[in-house]
Structure 1
Amino acid sequence: MQVKELTCITPLLPQLVELLSACINDDASLGFYKPAQADLLAQYWHSIENELALKQRRLFATFDNQTLLGCVQLLPCRKQNGTHRAEVEKLLVHPSAQRQGRARMLMRYVEQHASTQGISLLVLDTQSGDKSELFYHVLGYQKAGEIPYFVTDATGQLNATSYYYKVLSKS
């Protein structure tokens, strides 16, 4: 397993849509309702293409042969007083490839990449009570707090979101 940076979405758009769809349909809270709608997911991926080209957002992925099995995004802060921090977004691992170390590998890669770019603080959010909370805790992320009623599910039920951070070593 290895991680590679993607700078263009177009050739992988069907795989990116399938990956995001599979994760949503497996109950991951990723900003879209279940069942996932391919047209909305394609619009999402197209919306970030320009940011990737301008290196305002980074997209890292893991494959098995030519099949995309996981990805994660890193969004560096563009504010003058925040260039030391970045947000980790949309850590996705296909349900068929989970529990094989891919998520951990993607997160370690993001952390190493961030450090080489002078980023010393990573932040992320996840739905409160989700299995990902334990995963981020194991990786050394600290829970900063929780906002109630932050997101809704397809039935309209309101759910809280938890925010996490990790200070990266400066060595």
Structure 2
Amino acid sequence: MITIERIARIDPATFEALRNLLDACIDHGASLGFYAPAGADLLLSYWQTVAKEVSNNQRLLYILYDHGEVQATVQLSLCQKQNGRHRAEVEKLLVQPHAHRRGYASQLMTYIESDALQQGIQLLVLDTQSGDKAELFYHSIGYSKVGQIPYYVSDVSGRLSSTSYYYKHLIANSQ
């Protein structure tokens, strides 16, 4: 049974599950801001920062469970500027590598878009490494590419890659 929740507090078991999920995605080549192999302490520190931002209402954290097991997660980083409270940035859409192609990412994105609208958020933005399979996914669920920046990220060997930027206006897509 699949359930999706917006998480208000990360308990120790969830910290561990999220750390393992991020680690697995990094090990499978996802460009997520960390080089493989990422250290457990570094990844735990990342999730502790996320937890602090969640508790300070700066970030929304969503988790998709299948039969009680963490299978996917995504975050909305909320704009803190007065003139930008209608927008958020989608960050760290992660799906267990062994669970790809099961529709988890689509279900999670549909859920966060609906929840975003309920929170008064009308515009979602995100970036992803240019040429990555994630670009096809975001396009398929209605995100529009607005450009790319060359030489934006590096891999562990120092090779530079571009990043692509996308947006989705939720009001226009819900009417």
Normalised by the length of structure 2, the TM-score is 0.94
Counterpart of 1:114 in structure 2 is: 116
Q: Which runs of 4+ in 1 moved over 2 A?
A: none
SS at match of 1:39: helix
Residue pairs, 1:42-53, within 5 angstroms: 42-53=44-55
Q: Is the 8 A contact 2:9 2:51 kept in 1?
A: yes
SS at match of 1:48: helix
Match of 1:21 among 20, 23, 35: 23
Q: Which amino acid aligns with 1:145?
A: G
- Distance of 1:39 and 1:96 partners within structure 2: 24
Match of 1:159 among 142, 148, 161: 161
- Distance of 1:15 and 1:85 partners within structure 2: 28
Counterpart of 2:146 in structure 1 is: 144
Residue pairs, 1:79-90, within 5 angstroms: 79-90=81-92
Asked whether 1:10 is paired with 2:46, we answer no
Deviations 1:71-96 (A, max 9, x none): 00011111011111110000000011
- Distance of 1:146 and 1:40 partners within structure 2: 28
Structure 1, unaligned stretches of length 5 or more?
none
Quote the offset at 1:9 in angstroms.
Answer: 2.1
Q: Is the 8 A contact 2:61 2:75 kept in 1?
A: yes
- Distance of 2:75 and 2:126 partners within structure 1: 11
- Distance of 1:112 and 1:63 partners within structure 2: 18
Deviations 1:47-93 (A, max 9, x none): 12111112211100011233211000011111011111110000000
Q: Which amino acid aligns with 1:55?
A: N
Match of 1:104 among 99, 103, 106: 106
Quote the offset at 1:39 in angstroms.
Answer: 1.4
Normalised by the length of structure 1, the TM-score is 0.96
